[in-house]
Amino acid sequence: MKEYPTMRHTLPLAPQFYVTAPQPCPYLEERLERKLFTALQGQDAQELNDELSRQGFRRSQNVLYRPSCTDCAACMSARIKTQEFTPSKSQKRVLKRNASFERRVTTTWATEEQYELFRTYLDSRHADGGMADMDVFEFAAMIEETPIRSRVIEYHDPDTGKLVAVCLTDVLQDGLSMVYSFFDPAYEKQSLGTFIILDHVKIARERELPFVYLGYWVPGSPKMGYKANFSALEIYKNGDWQALGDASEHATGAHPLSTAPIAEQVANISLPDLPAHRRI
């Protein structure tokens, strides 16, 4: 019998970047969004996620993405400098109101209780959003499909044992990245969204991690503008991290000619410096 040489399939040596087709922006009316993205896979996934997170990328399951809109630069990645953060008076009250909640850190395994809370949260807060139609299998994929160090952080009411809030969190080299959080709208007076962020700052400090990554801050968007309420906030703008300063000074628009072409954007992305034996 004739023998054929063995075919070996390997992943590309460098990440391949792609761009999504324009679609309606979920944050600003009459705007179109487009994302630059790459797959997150292989033995170097953790290093790639760490490096690109420092350049304004976010993770969604096995994908890393960053806004790449042609006529808008409103979406800016935001992070809190944990050692410099000081809670405001209202945030101190939030911490006090929720001090009795029990925090449980678990592996990335979706449960029916989490999904029921997720559905309640969406139906109350984001019934017309892009995630409104997610079924239990898609929810499980969001929680469980992660090639990096991720945790599910749950918060329970100690009096009833009820699950009241959840956050899917990535553990980065330099901080915690809050991938997605949701909570029971019946506890609206508890300001659970704010509490989850404050508690992540506490966790990061305990682990001596310098940052808590919050996702994108979008000035002019009621959904995303709340992040400017946290002190020691930095935004990723013009290729670098900088202090937020006066939130009102950040324009939500950008002239199309000020947006770099995709090829230039990709060329300016720094990739992790891997050991020589792992580049082969």
Residue 54 and residue 189 in one domain = no
Query: What's the pLDDT band for 220 if we cut at 50, 70, 90?
Result: confident
Residue 119 and residue 236 in one domain = yes
Query: What's the pLDDT band for 132 if we cut at 50, 70, 90?
Result: low
Amino acid at 118: F
pLDDT above 70: residue 175:
yes
Residue 230 and residue 176 in one domain = yes
C-alpha–C-alpha distance, residues 54 and 19, integer Å: 20
pLDDT tens for each residue of 67-123: 988 878 888 999 999 999 999 999 999 999 999 999 999 999 999 999 999 999 988
Task: Tell me if 83 sits within 8 A of 203, measured CB to CB.
Answer: no
Please tell me the least confidently modeled range out of 94-108, 135-149, 179-193, 213-227: 213-227
Whether 21 is covered by a domain: the verdict is yes
- Residue 153 has phi, psi (to 5 degrees) of -105, 115
β-bridge mates for residue 211, sequence order: 81, 175
Q: What is the pLDDT of residue 235?
A: 95
Q: How far is CA 52 from CA 16, 132, 209, 259, in A?
A: 13, 28, 17, 19
Whether 43 is covered by a domain: the verdict is yes
Residue 50 and residue 123 in one domain = no
Mean pLDDT (the chain, rounded): 88
Q: Average pLDDT in the 167-185 region?
A: 97
Residue 213 and residue 258 in one domain = no
Q: At what angle do helices 112-125 and 136-144 cross, to 10 degrees?
A: 110
Residue 222 and residue 145 in one domain = yes
DSSP assignment string, 167-229: EEEEE-SSEEEEEEEEE-GGGGGG-HHHHHHHHHHHHHHHTT--EEEEEEE-TT-TTTGGGGG
Burial bucket for residue 16 (CB in 10 Å: 0-12, 13-18, 19+)? exposed
Residue 151 and residue 236 in one domain = yes
Q: What is the CATH number of the domain that holds 167?
A: 3.40.630.30
Q: What is the pLDDT of residue 278?
A: 46
pLDDT above 50: residue 135:
yes
pTM over 0.85: yes
Q: Average pLDDT in the 197-223 region?
A: 93
Residue 170 and residue 214 in one domain = yes
Residue 160 and residue 83 in one domain = yes
Helix count and strand count (H, E) for the chain: 6, 14
pLDDT above 70: residue 1:
no
Whether 32 is covered by a domain: the verdict is yes
State the total domains in the chain: 2
Residue 129 and residue 244 in one domain = yes
Q: What is the pLDDT of residue 126?
A: 61
Whether 106 is covered by a domain: the verdict is yes
Q: How many CB atoms lie within 10 A of CB 219?
A: 21
Name the residue range of residue 25's domain. Answer: 17-76+253-278
pLDDT above 80: residue 10:
no
pLDDT tens for each residue of 11-61: 455 789 999 999 988 888 888 889 999 999 888 999 999 999 999 999 999
Query: What's the pLDDT band for 3 if we cut at 50, 70, 90?
Result: low
Q: What is the pLDDT of residue 8?
A: 47
pLDDT above 60: residue 279:
no
Whether 2 is covered by a domain: the verdict is no
C-alpha–C-alpha distance, residues 197 and 4, integer Å: 57
* Higher local confidence (pLDDT), 273 or 230: 230
Q: What is the pLDDT of residue 27?
A: 84
Rounded percentage of the chain residues whose pLDDT exceeds 90: 63
C-alpha–C-alpha distance, residues 168 and 181, integer Å: 6
